[in-house]
Amino acid sequence: MKFVALIPARYASTRFPGKPLARIDGKYMIQRVYERVKMCLDDVWVATDDARIYEAVQSFGGQVVMTSTEHRSGTDRCLEAAHALSETFDVVINVQGDEPFVEPSQIESLKSCFTDNPDTQIATLVKPFTQADGWEALANPNSPKVVLDQQGRALYFSRSIIPFRRDLPKEGWLASQTYYKHIGMYAYRMEVLERIASLPQSPLELSESLEQLRWLENGIQIQTAVTQVETLAVDTPDDLRAIESMLVR
């Protein structure tokens, strides 16, 4: 089975323009992501829509492919990039370009979903909430939750807390129930990636603003792998400053 990692990277971020080219301890952020993924995969490509990012990736010896500026999501950008590659792959792993400390173990967990089960269509990661996380983290709508079936397949994703425990006060929920946080890294069989990119937005997706609900609504199964690792994402300049201060310490 042949895997390729694609790292979508666009320049025009609303909250942090030019984010992939931000420097972290002397290296571009996109370079740090690329080098971490290369620790466990030979085939790694950055998929960008901007010449500045393209040139930066080439400057550190990375593989990069230019894609359209019109894509509505990283998933669509990954599909165009995968089609542009001269080699064909069975599974595409979509790695977020704003997670400079992505762990190789996360990539390996995604790969195992396909090597252990030939029926896997899409795979993603989930992490159990702990009691130490507290109620505020569980209730945070910017941290999507997911419920699983007995085979570890996703039943539903939501920005609300799922499942709702009607039999307990909220202070007891984390102690009595395993809640899963969605870690937004995906892997897709190539034929499934082609299918989901052609699907129109769905009612549940529009309601929750979560594109994976479109896939579930269209009958596509999403296998999950449980990880204990959650890496830091850089969404704003403040996030970058926080990471830099951690590195100094």
Tens of pLDDT, residues 111-124: 999 999 999 999 99
Give the residue from 101, 85, 98, 80 showing the smallest Cα distance to 44: 85
For each of the domains in the chain, give its residue range(s) and CATH number, in order of start: 1-102 (3.90.550.10), 121-230 (3.90.550.10)
95 in helix, strand or coil? coil
- pLDDT digits 0-9 by tens, 154-209: 999 999 999 999 999 999 999 999 999 999 999 999 999 999 999 999 999 999 99
Q: pTM of the full predicted structure?
A: 0.93
C-alpha distances in Å from residue 120, one per residue of 27, 42, 106, 155, 193: 36, 22, 17, 15, 12
SS3 assignment, position 47: strand
Longest dimension (CA), the chain: 58
Rounded to whole angstroms, the Cα distance separating 155 from 152 reads 9
- As averages over each run of 10 residues, the pLDDT of the chain (249 residues) reads 95 85 93 96 96 97 94 89 94 94 95 97 98 96 96 98 96 96 96 94 96 97 95 84 73
